[in-house]
Amino acid sequence: MEKWPNNKAWFLVLPAFIIVAFSGIIPLMTVVNYSIQDIFGPGEAVFVGTEWFKEMLGNHRLHDALWRQFMFSGLVLLIEIPLGILIALAMPKRGWGVSASLVILALPLVIPWNVIGTIWIIFTRPDIGLFGVGINSLDLLEVPFDHTAKPIYAWITLLAMEVWHWTPLVALLAYAGLRAIPEAYFQAAKIDGASAWATFLYIQLPKMRGVLTIAVLLRWMDSFLIYAEPFALTGGGPGNTTTFLSIYLVKLATMQFDLGPAAAFSLIYFLIVLLFSFAFYQALLNVGRGEKA
């Protein structure tokens, strides 16, 4: 590859870098500083070394929250990505149906998180909610449905809410990817007599790799950092069964005001997100690399 002689274009990145420095790097440095001190008040801090990290690494509530978080994010990806692709495949390709389905899909995306929590609380209430009353009138469940009654109910409600809220994003991204495939590919597939499944597997799926990378990364990070929805819906309960990492972190930092442990916890959290995002990004970047695009 020929090297460009003038690299001054890098200076155009400078504004973005300065913004990131203020919004990301300086706060991160502050968190690192917090994580090795016990801060009692303004100007009163005692150096404690790695004590908070040791405490947090051995903290069972953190371990539990971490497993719950992995389970939740894993389920979210397993449900939302295939479902989003299915919806995108089923969407009309021309005519008024395109605009109609785009608007309907975009609706959940424009509702604020806390409102979504409230909507789902009302929707699943066993006394007035459409879903709650509906499923209870079928008389199938041993314990009447109420998202505060059993951990499994809380999980189902949370997952349903998350899927309802964010699958449209995956669908819209997948749809954009599908629409960008030149018609010639499908004509060639037709000439070869390829089945719908083969067309999907060898044309549509590989061509969607770029948008699916973004979808997986966004959904992974968002669901791994999820806070507002479980906070609004369950507040982490029943018991601690829906206490995800961020909920536990906020409890630690702002309710108990344990800034040091919370900072150590944040950094561990940050490292996990960093590792997984890198792994996902690389995996999706390198799938099928080497074959002709």
Partner 1 sequence: MSLEWMYWTGTTAIFFTTIFLMLVGMLIWELVSPTVERRGFFLIPTTRGTRFFLGLLGSAYIHLAWLGLTDLPLWYATGISVVWVVIAIRWG
Nearer to partner 1, 57 or 188 (CB): 57
How many Cα atoms are found within 13 Å in the side-chain-facing hemisphere of 54?
Answer: 5
Asked if residue 54 binds partner 1 (CB under 8 A), the reply is yes
- Taking CB under 8 A as the criterion, the residue among 5, 15, 41, 43 binding partner 1 is 43
Asked if residue 37 binds partner 1 (CB under 8 A), the reply is yes
Residues 61 to 80 in contact with partner 1, rule: CB under 8 A: none
| Cβ–Cβ under 8 Å, residues 213 and 284 | yes
If one counts every other C-beta atom within 10 angstroms of the C-beta of residue 130, the result is: 11
Residue 158 tokens read as 């949370």
Q: How far apart are CA 90 and CA 92, in angstroms?
A: 7
- Count, residues near partner 1 per rule CB under 8 A: 28
In DSSP notation, 172-229 reads: HHHHHHHHTS-HHHHHHHHHTT--HHHHIIIIIHHHTHHHHHHHHHHHHHHHHT--HH
Asked if residue 20 binds partner 1 (CB under 8 A), the reply is no
Asked if residue 57 binds partner 1 (CB under 8 A), the reply is yes
Asked if residue 268 binds partner 1 (CB under 8 A), the reply is yes
Asked if residue 13 binds partner 1 (CB under 8 A), the reply is no
- E strand or H helix at 44: strand 44-47
| Cβ–Cβ under 8 Å, residues 125 and 132 | yes
- Taking CB under 8 A as the criterion, the residue among 32, 98, 102, 273 binding partner 1 is 32
- Taking CB under 8 A as the criterion, the residue among 78, 141, 152, 274 binding partner 1 is 274
Asked if residue 45 binds partner 1 (CB under 8 A), the reply is yes
Q: How far apart are CA 174 and CA 197, in angstroms?
A: 17
- Taking CB under 8 A as the criterion, the residue among 61, 198, 271, 288 binding partner 1 is 271
Q: Closest by alpha carbon to 90, among 26, 167, 162, 152? A: 167
Residue 253 tokens read as 């930092």
Taking CA atoms, 123 is separated from 126, 132, 158, 234, 277, in Å, by 9, 7, 12, 14, 34
Nearer to partner 1, 27 or 82 (CB): 27
| Choices 29-37, 125-133, 154-162, 176-184 (CB under 8 A): range interacting with partner 1 | 29-37
| Choices 41-49, 133-141, 168-176, 231-239 (CB under 8 A): range interacting with partner 1 | 41-49
Residues 157 to 196 in contact with partner 1, rule: CB under 8 A: none
Binding residues vs partner 1 (CB under 8 A): 3, 26, 29-30, 32-34, 36-37, 39, 42-43, 45, 47, 49-50, 53-54, 57-58, 268, 271, 274-275, 278, 282, 286, 289
